[in-house]
Structure 1
């Protein structure tokens, strides 16, 4: 079962994206959340040099139905918010991936750590891509597996191995992205994106495993 960490750019128009990009020095930590089809209730911790003006900006957002300050001290505030815009959590709900808290939001991006099946993780990736939501997979670890099984999602592994087996990495190349995407029955842009993410995961693993080891 994979455990993954994703950094996802929050869609335009979401209150927490607008506020966190307006105040890039602010950090939000969502400690608990109750998602629904039309409303989301969450408890968040805000860390910022001056949290009070940020809370006021949140309360002014049209999608925010209610904001209740639970406590505050210098540089930190804990508050509960009820919002009518559940789009931030919609991809997770659609993919059927269990929500884990706490998670962080900074400068328009949310970081999720998730433990789920490979199929549901792939469904989440598909949902994000279908909705043109930019994201980056920081890592995928197969719980209980060795290092070789922790690098890629099932879909990334399929695309990468297909490219490898068909000679995409040979010199000279024996195939093209167009041919690979046609074989896998996916678009060329999707094939390129998935392959690029797989290559990035492999490169980061190699750098951490071998380059980092040589420097120690």
Structure 2
């Protein structure tokens, strides 16, 4: 299962490509995005010396259905934007590849990172070509058993490592969830949530890499 990083050329015909081309110093951070066939909704953080004129410029575009200013502080603003032209996200949506968010856009280029199957990554490349969206591949790295820790954040690795050390995963169990939480000086609920997410990442990686999901359902 590969982990990939791509640099994407933002099409001019999208609002963010056009605005980024006119203001190459601007930095956009797409916090999260929900693409669809005919519309796309995204939370976008804008870094600009004067955000308000840029926000007005974006709001006045024909392909912007709705723009809400969620907050603004000095040179930063968080926007919720609904666009009728989600061209940038259509290849992702159609190929079924989950992007790692947030990702940045500056000077008409986006940096995408993803962990997916070889078939879906190949599908994404085909979709980008079909839509005429230029891209370059910074790297594609296979994740094997020795690299499984790359699936986890530093915090998830810390909590999981502590749980193993304390004996939380031994049979019979030598430490409770509360013991692990106390050793890290965090709440039980926080410890449980971090472990659950880490376990989920590892389980899904193992299934994708080593098992055929269809056969496990028979």
TM-score, normalization by structure 1: 0.65
Distance (whole Å) between structure 2 residues aligned to residue 12 and residue 78 of structure 1? 22
Q: CA RMSD in A?
A: 1.6
Residue of structure 1 in register with 2:56 after alignment: 56
Alpha-carbon contact 1:23-1:54 (below 8 Å) kept: no
Instruction: Quote the Cα distance in structure 1 between the aligned partners of 2:123 and 2:99.
Output: 15
* Equivalent position of 2:91 in the other structure: 91
1:136 & 1:33 partners in 2: Cα distance?
22
Structure 1 match to 2:16: 16
Query: Is the Cα–Cα contact under 8 Å of residues 28 and 45 in structure 1 kept in the other structure?
Result: yes
Equivalent residues in 2 for 1:1-216 (5 A)?
1-144=1-144
Structure 1 position 145, deviation (Å):
6.8
Deviation at 1:43, TM superposition (A): 0.7
Q: Could you list the runs of 5+ residues in structure 2 that have no partner in the other structure? A: 148-218
* Cα distance change, pair 131–83 in 1 and its aligned pair in 2 (3 A): closer
Contact 2:36 2:90 in 1 (8 A): no
Q: Distance in 2 between matches of 1:83 and 1:131?
A: 17
Instruction: Name stretches of at least 5 consecutive residues in structure 1 with no aligned partner.
Output: 148-216
Q: CA deviation at 1:12?
A: 2.4
Aligned equivalents of 1:37, 1:128: Cα separation in 2: 15
The 4+ residue runs of structure 1 with deviation greater than 6 A are none
Deviation string 1:111-150 (CA, Å, 9 cap, x unpaired) is: 1101100111111112222333210111111112789xxx
